[in-house]
Chain A
């Protein structure tokens, strides 16, 4: 219900005017408006009075976040906090762009499904990348769920909203999280165990699984009880949490004709990706918060998976296996892989647009994980080249043994046998 009329002016806590333009929507916590602020159209979230346990601490935290500034452009971060009015307040953030929908809608309605697996993978990469930066800045998000992400299902681009519970890791805003997304230790904690970076990482794994498999990682056979009471939910998502694909214990496994999304997709996915989910939802990791998968490890497998999704001439996305020619599962023709990049850990398909990221070549720190190192480019004739995307000079050896240097932005022809030294490791063109 709108409380502010069009044209009403409220102020930021430092006195800048915010003019109400229109009402967008309301929810349990408050309402959202379109406003004019600092010459731009922005969104104003205005809290209902009395919905917060400790409004002063909440306000202080929000103000601190606004002052520190957004850690990444994916976040619809608080720009400024408002003055108090009628016992409550709000904050200004960017508007959600057109064509972006809540992740919940993408999962819950066929109208909003991801167009392609590449788009779904890109969404995963953007989400992981944003949380890597958030966590590295010392924050925890605390309430990661399918309502926090606005995603463009065609491109996989992501905006992250509801950043009002983001707080320095280890502090609490009173929020526990959304059922089905809370980490097991929070579910069984009876309100005494509060979210942190580790619990964020559980929720993040669940979201990645939901996006790629369109299934919840813990909602297997046991979830199919006639009535999921609160007591049973506490076991399912908490004290007895068990991965639907657990290789050693099938008591919560998928059921034919019900868990069709999972059964259709699991077999198609490459082992390195499945292994990461098996690890993320192993009993050990589920019940040892400190062992949760770090963002950089997700980035490594997601970047690899992205390079393995190649379009067949029939239009079908084919998941290339072992960087080798793979039969299209729709038309049966071979998707031919002629060029391969031999990375230190595995071979990667090289096609126009393929990129090698820093996390794929040797040890790196989390901040630089997604920095592009090399990119595969193509001439109009289709001839491939490899471009140095860094500001470093790389040494290369030709097949005949000659040494050459590749300066920043230089492109070399894609000739099998060339070996490039980068970050103390070798990348071989095959």
Chain B
């Protein structure tokens, strides 16, 4: 008789945080983000450790004057996910972060897996306006990188100065940008969005549902309901981001970078 031990094989679900650590984030803002990320460690372990649907792996990229991965060696599995506090200071080089993403969202870099990946989730957090040539970087990554183009992207705008128009262009989906003006709500929101992203595959679908950044956000918002400081931005974007590349190209296994 074969052994009854074992687990079902799973695909990797990458959840990648892209966090603004520019000077304007210093003080309470970055402290709140750090506290939320520490909370995420536990919440994600509780919710996703034994998941039969996928194996969660986490990446974290910060940007200020330049961009730097906190998970330097690649995506980390839940048991190895321990948050090291990010520090704020410098300018807002969003373009540098996009270039880093473009570089690492690849099968030959961070997305190496024998069983392959689910569509990645990318969660952006920013409180300001980019200071570098981010538009060029966005056009480049959107055109070149199918992982980025297909990713379910969500943006959390922190405070009133955050430029939601830019965030909308970044995520390419008006339904997936949310603004939080108070820090307590921000912390809850980061945790709820993370939990919702981790559980999307395990959720039963209703007619006309679409698995998207917008749905992840909607599910998260039902968790933090009642907080008036949350403002989901539903205004149309002036200049839509390029449409995701059609990936229904048969069963080819060409490199996705």
Task: Give residues in A with beta carbon < 8 Å to B.
Answer: 1, 28, 48, 50-51, 53, 104-105, 107-117, 120, 143, 145-147, 172, 174-180, 182, 191-192, 194, 210, 214-216, 219, 222-232, 234-235, 251, 258-261, 264-265, 268, 309, 316-319, 329-330
Which of B19-27, B134-142, B196-204 participates in binding chain A? Answer: B196-204
B residues less than 8 Å from A210 (CB atoms): 8
Given A109-B49, A174-B206, A231-B246, A226–B107 Cβ distance below 8 Å?
Answer: yes
Min CB gap A247→B, angstroms: 20
Interface flag for B4 (CB, 8 Å): yes
CA distance A309 to B209 in the complex (A): 44
Q: Are A191 and B208 in contact (CB under 8 A)?
A: yes
Number of A-B contacts (CB under 8 A): 160
Question: Residues 1-31 of chain B: 1 if any A CB is under 8 Å from the residue's CB, otherwise 0?
Answer: 1111111111100000000000000000000
B residues less than 8 Å from A229 (CB atoms): 119, 150, 247-248
Q: Are B202 and A147 in contact (CB under 8 A)?
A: yes
CA distance A175 to B205 in the complex (A): 6
Taking residues whose C-beta sits less than 8 angstroms from the other chain, chain B's interface range is: 35 or more
Q: Are A264 and B3 in contact (CB under 8 A)?
A: yes
Question: Residues 228-257 of chain B: 1 if any A CB is under 8 Å from the residue's CB, otherwise 0?
Answer: 000000000000000000111001110110
Given A226-B117, A227-B146, A231-B247, A175–B206 Cβ distance below 8 Å?
Answer: yes
Which of B108-116, B153-161, B165-173 participates in binding chain A? Answer: B108-116
Q: Are B1 and A108 in contact (CB under 8 A)?
A: no
Listed A/B pairs (11) with beta-carbon separation below 8 Å? A109-B49, A178-B203, A179-B205, A214-B7, A214-B8, A226-B117, A227-B146, A229-B150, A258-B115, A259-B9, A317-B1
Interface flag for B223 (CB, 8 Å): yes
Closest to B247 in A: A229
Q: Give the contacting residue for A228; candidates B118, B207, B219; CB below 8 A.
A: B118
Q: Are A107 and B150 in contact (CB under 8 A)?
A: no
Q: Are A225 and B52 in contact (CB under 8 A)?
A: no
Task: Give residues in B with beta carbon < 8 Å to A.
Answer: 1-11, 49-53, 107, 111, 113-120, 146-147, 150, 199, 201-209, 211, 219, 222-223, 225, 246-248, 251-253, 255-256
Closest to B146 in A: A227
Point out which of A107, A145, A235, A319 has the most chain B C-beta atoms below 10 A from its C-beta: A107
A residues less than 8 Å from B113 (CB atoms): 226
A residues less than 8 Å from B206 (CB atoms): 53, 174-176
Q: Are A120 and B4 in contact (CB under 8 A)?
A: yes
CA distance A112 to B248 in the complex (A): 37
A residues less than 8 Å from B207 (CB atoms): 53, 172, 174-176, 191-192, 194
CA distance A195 to B248 in the complex (A): 25
Closest A-B pairs by Cβ, 10 of them:
A231-B248, A108-B52, A109-B50, A191-B207, A229-B247, A107-B52, A104-B52, A264-B2, A317-B1, A265-B2
Closest to B254 in A: A226
Closest to B113 in A: A226
